[in-house]
Structure 1
Amino acid sequence: MDWDARMRAALSAARGVAYLHAAHSLAHGNLKSSNLLLRPDPDAAALSDYCLHQLFAPLSARPNAGGYRAPELVDARRPTFKSDVYSLGVLFLELLTGKSPGNASVDGDGAVDLPRWVQSVVREEWTAEVFDVELVRLGGSAEEEMVALLQVAMACVATAPDARPDTADVVKMIEEIGSGHGRTTTEESEDRSMGTPPAGTTP
């Protein structure tokens, strides 16, 4: 996946989760890359396996879901909007680093934690080492967008749930990152659906 495809995947995932939260007051509960289904339309994707947590054993009775699970879900509590945001952040880090959360480790005991690995690298001011080498080759403006998405991802994986942004804010932040590169924002999509031309265009 090139950078544009990864950005569209990140935005589609965020929009899908935001829709579940806002329109249906549902937490997905099982966000991971294998549950993000990309479609031929570059601006569309689908989320699968949402809300299946209600049918199975509590998270504490199952293995760490591949490194996507928020740290506060170590007990039997149900997934929340904020734990979904954490999982979104891990998904963004996966897109940026090219690393699976299940293969990242910063502990001698092999504990899986992609967010902490990224934090440790950024703390040492080796930010460029975080990114997938295939993305770094793009250079130019793509590097600025990568850093911007990294900042969004790190906000999403904050340890304290209250410190994480809401999904609607995550969507807005990602739209702003790509606004200068032909991606359609939520506001523009709504305008077009009502027959109103985007700002700066001539009817």
Structure 2
Amino acid sequence: MSLAFREHGLTFTLIATDEEIATLDAVQYVASGPCVDAVDLGHGIATPDGLLSEQRWQHFARASAAAGVQSTLTLPVVDGDVVVSTVNLYGRANDTFTGKHELLAGVFGAWAPGVVANADLSFATRRAAEQAPTQLREAAVVDTATGMLAAERGVSVEEARAQLDDAAHRARIPVQRLAHVVVGLYLDD
């Protein structure tokens, strides 16, 4: 589960049950998904045939499937006429949330009709040296993901990196984790 919040025109993850779920939110921030669309459009979006059938969210659907998520439920939280946040639930079965929209909306105070379903310097220096190969590998993955985003979107590398950093920051996950997912998505294409 995650709670996404909208402020100053940006949607960001306020809290998530774990890093894997926050990563799925980040994928939505960089490639779209029901959480972002529900807030941007101001209403719910139904996906009765499942995420993989939803063409507009293919990256999110594939990342979710890779994480073992078979169904999602996005419950918009409304203040007046404006969707200000979403409660995002992720399930392992295809029908995890079937028939439970009203109940879950009540639990979270959400709007059911708007639901979107489906110390020693020498030791410190040594530790730093031991970590260097990992840090270099992680930096290479981030650079690769940045390049892939720039090429796909026709934007500069700087813009693509800013988008990647922004999505990870908004989901409160390390940019390296998001980069691994993004690279995996593009390699599967």
Q: Same fold judged by TM-score > 0.5? A: no
TM-score range, shorter chain: under 0.3
Q: Which has the higher contact order (CA 8 A, sep 6+)?
A: 2
Q: If the length of structure 1 is used for normalisation, what is the TM-score?
A: 0.26
Work out which of the two has the higher radius of gyration on C-alpha atoms and give 1 or 2: 2
